[in-house]
Amino acid sequence: MSGYFSMLLYSLDLLGTGVFAVTGAMVAARRNMDLFGALVLAFVTAVGGGTIRDAILGSTPVFWVHDTNYLTVICLATALTLAGKAWWHKTRHVVMLLDALGLGVFVVIGVEKVLSMQLDPMVAILMGVLTGAGGGVIRDVLAGRVPMVLRSEIYATAAIAGGILYIVMYDVGVSRSIVAIACASSVFVLRLLAIYCNFSLPKVTAQSS
Amino acid sequence: MSGYFSMLLYSLDLLGTGVFAVTGAMVAARRNMDLFGALVLAFVTAVGGGTIRDAILGSTPVFWVHDTNYLTVICLATALTLAGKAWWHKTRHVVMLLDALGLGVFVVIGVEKVLSMQLDPMVAILMGVLTGAGGGVIRDVLAGRVPMVLRSEIYATAAIAGGILYIVMYDVGVSRSIVAIACASSVFVLRLLAIYCNFSLPKVTAQSS
Amino acid sequence: MSGYFSMLLYSLDLLGTGVFAVTGAMVAARRNMDLFGALVLAFVTAVGGGTIRDAILGSTPVFWVHDTNYLTVICLATALTLAGKAWWHKTRHVVMLLDALGLGVFVVIGVEKVLSMQLDPMVAILMGVLTGAGGGVIRDVLAGRVPMVLRSEIYATAAIAGGILYIVMYDVGVSRSIVAIACASSVFVLRLLAIYCNFSLPKVTAQSS
C-alpha cells in the first residue's frame, strides 16, 4: 500500500472516530447523563470495538495508547456535540452519512490488522465486524438498552458483506488499496441502502414457523 | 495426560461450545433479534468466558483465534437452532443435559490452563468458574437482563465445587485424567441435581436478618 | 519512592479493594442475588477497573493473578458484608468515607502504572479514572442499572481532577510520594464535598438550549 493511501486511510479513521464519538455523546445527552457520561459514551463508541479486538489479538498496548490523536479527536467531538445541540436536527443526515463511512473504514482497518498477523480469513471478517460494530454495542449496554445492532438494523450485515468482499478480492490478488476502497465503499453503500430503503434482516423469533 | 484423553477433552470442548451457542441463539430468538444478533449471542455465550480468561492471563491471541473449529461449530449450532425452532420443546431436556456437561468440561479446561501456567490454585478455581459461567453472563447483559447466574440457579456453585475438587485431588497427586473426569462429572451431577431437585443457594437480601 | 511509602500505598490499595468489594456485595444484596452473585459483584467492583486497565496496557497476567491478597480481601469483605447486614445503616458514613479514600488511592495507582511505562500523560489520567471508576460501572451493568457514575455523581470528576493534579505536580518535579498524597487527598476531599454539599456537573440534555 502506498504512503499516500495509508495517510488517506488514517485520516478517514480519525474522521470515523470523531463521528462515532458524536453518536455516543448524543445517546448520553438523550439519557440526561452528565458531561463525564458523555465523554465515556463517546469514548467507548469510538474506540471500544478496536480495543476489544486488540485485547483479543494480544496487540497491546492497544492502538490508541501510543497515538493520542484518537483521544484528542474524541474530546473535541464530544465538546462540539454538546455545544451544538441546537443544530442537531439540521446535521442528522450528515451524521448518518459519516457514520456509514466510518463503519466502512473501521471494517477495513480491522480486517487488515488480522491479515497482517497471518491469521485466518474467518477471524479477519469477525474482527472487521467487531471493530466496526463493537463500540456501538458497549455504548448501548452502558446506556441501559439492548444493543440496536442486535435487533433491527442492517449495520453488522453491511460490515460482514464488506469483510467477505475484502477477503475474496484479496485472495484473487487485487492490490490492497483497491480492495480497501471496494470494501469500505460497499459497506457504505449497503448501509445507506438499509437506512433509506428500509432493508432489514428477517427477525428470528421463538415461535415455531 | 494421554493423547487419547486430550482428544476426548477437545471433542467435549467443541460439544460444549456448540451447546452454549445453542442457548445463546435461543435467547436471541426469544428477544426477536435478527440473524446477526443470534450469531453474536451464540458467539459470546460459547467463547466469552474463555476469551476474558485468556485476556486476563495474557494468553493472547485468545484460544479461538488459532483454531477456527470453534467459530465453525458456533455458526453451525446457530443455523441448526434457528432452522429447528419447531423442535425446541422436544429437545429441551437434551439441551439442559448437554449444557451441564459443557459446564463441567469448561471448568476443567479453565482450571488446567491456569495450573499449566504455575499460578495460584485460588486463581485456577476462579478461572474455571469464569470459563464455565462467564459467557452466559455476557449473553444476558447483551439481551438486557440481569444475569441468571447471579440470581437463583446453582450454576456457578456447581462450577466452584468442581474447581475445588480438582485442586484437592490434584494436590494429593491423583493422575490428571482421573482428576479431570471427577471434576467434570461432579459439576455435571450437581447441576442436574440443582435443576431436577430445585436446589438453590440462600438469597442474600438487604433486609437485616 | 521510599519502601515505607510503597508499603503504605499497598495497604491503602488493599483497604480500597475491600471497601469497593463491600459496595458491590451491598448492591447484590439489594437486588436479591445469591451468595455467588454477591461474590461476583464484589469482585468486579473491586478489581474490574484495574483488570481492564491492565488488559488495555498489555500488562498481563493482570495484577491480582500474581498477588492473591486481593482475592482474599474480596472474599473476606463479602462475607463480612453479608454477615453484618444488621449494622449497615450504622456504617453508612464509614463506607462512604472509605470508598472516597479508595477512589483516591486507585487513581494514584492507575496514573503511576502508566507513567512507569513512559506513556502519554493524557493516557495516564484516563487510566487513573478507569482504575477508580471502572469497577463501579461493571457492577451497575451486571446489576441491570445505568451506571451511577455516568448520571449524576461527581465521582469521575473528582478522579479526573486528581489525575490532572498528579500530572501537573509530576511535571514540575515534585517528589513522587508528595504527588501521590496530594492526588489521593484531593480526590478524597472533592468526593466528600460532592456527597455532603450536593455538588454535581451540569446535565447534558437532548433539548436544544
pLDDT tens track for A113-132: 999 999 999 999 999 999 99
pLDDT tens track for C8-61: 889 989 999 999 999 999 989 888 888 888 999 999 999 999 999 999 999 989
Q: Is the CB of A51 inside 8 Å of chain C's CB atoms?
A: yes
Nearest to C57 among A30, A34, A65 (CB): A65
User: Which residue of C lies nearest to A67 if distances are taken between CA atoms?
Assistant: C120
Three-state SS across chain B? Answer: CCHHHHHHHHHHHHHHHHHHHHHHHHHHHHCCCEHHHHHHHHHHHHHHHHHHHHHHHCCCCCHHHHCCHHHHHHHHHHHHHHHCHHHHHHHHHHHHHHHHHHHHHHHHHHHHHHHHCCCCHHHHHHHHHHHHHHHHHHHHHHCCCCCHHHCCCCCHHHHHHHHHHHHHHHHCCCCHHHHHHHHHHHHHHHHHHHHHHCCCCCECCCCCC
Three-state SS across chain C? Answer: CCHHHHHHHHHHHHHHHHHHHHHHHHHHHHCCCEHHHHHHHHHHHHHHHHHHHHHHHCCCCCHHHHCCHHHHHHHHHHHHHHHCHHHHHHHHHHHHHHHHHHHHHHHHHHHHHHHHCCCCHHHHHHHHHHHHHHHHHHHHHHCCCCCHHHCCCCCHHHHHHHHHHHHHHHHCCCCHHHHHHHHHHHHHHHHHHHHHHCCCCCECCCCCC
The mean pLDDT of chain B is: 88
Rounded to a whole number, what is the distance in Å from the CA of B22 to chain A's nearest CA? Answer: 13
Q: Which residues of A92-115 are buried (b: 16+ CB within 10 A; e: fewer)?
A: eeeebebbbbbbbbbbbbbbbbbb
Q: Is the CB of C116 inside 8 Å of chain A's CB atoms?
A: no
User: Is the distance from CB of C70 to CB of C46 less than 8 angstroms?
Assistant: yes
User: Is the distance from CB of A167 to CB of A111 less than 8 angstroms?
Assistant: yes
pLDDT tens track for A64-96: 999 999 999 999 999 999 988 877 777 778 888
CB atoms near residue A209 (< 10 Å): 8
**Which residues touch C206 (CB under 8 Å, ≥6 apart)?**
A26, A29, A30, A85, A88
pLDDT at B60: 87
**Which residues touch B109 (CB under 8 Å, ≥6 apart)?**
B9, B13, B50, B131
Q: Is the peptide bond before B121 cis (omega within 30 degrees of 0)?
A: no
Confidence at B206, pLDDT banded by 50, 70, 90: low
User: Is the distance from CB of B117 to CB of C112 less than 8 angstroms?
Assistant: no
**Which of the two residues, B141 and C93, has the higher pLDDT score?**
B141
Q: What value of ipTM does the predicted structure carry?
A: 0.87
pLDDT at B20: 93
**Which grid cell is B152?**
437463583
pLDDT tens track for A128-186: 999 999 999 999 999 988 888 887 667 888 899 999 999 999 999 888 889 999 999 99
pLDDT at B200: 59
Map out the domains of chain B as residue ranges: 3-83+90-197
Nearest to B56 among C36, C51, C143 (CB): C51
Rounded to a whole number, what is the distance in Å from the CA of A133 to chain C's nearest CA? Answer: 19
Confidence at C149, pLDDT banded by 50, 70, 90: confident
Query: Judged by CB atoms within 8 Å, which residues 6-35 of A form the interface with B?
Result: none
Please say if the pLDDT value at position C198 is more than 80.
no
User: Is the distance from CB of C19 to CB of C98 less than 8 angstroms?
Assistant: yes
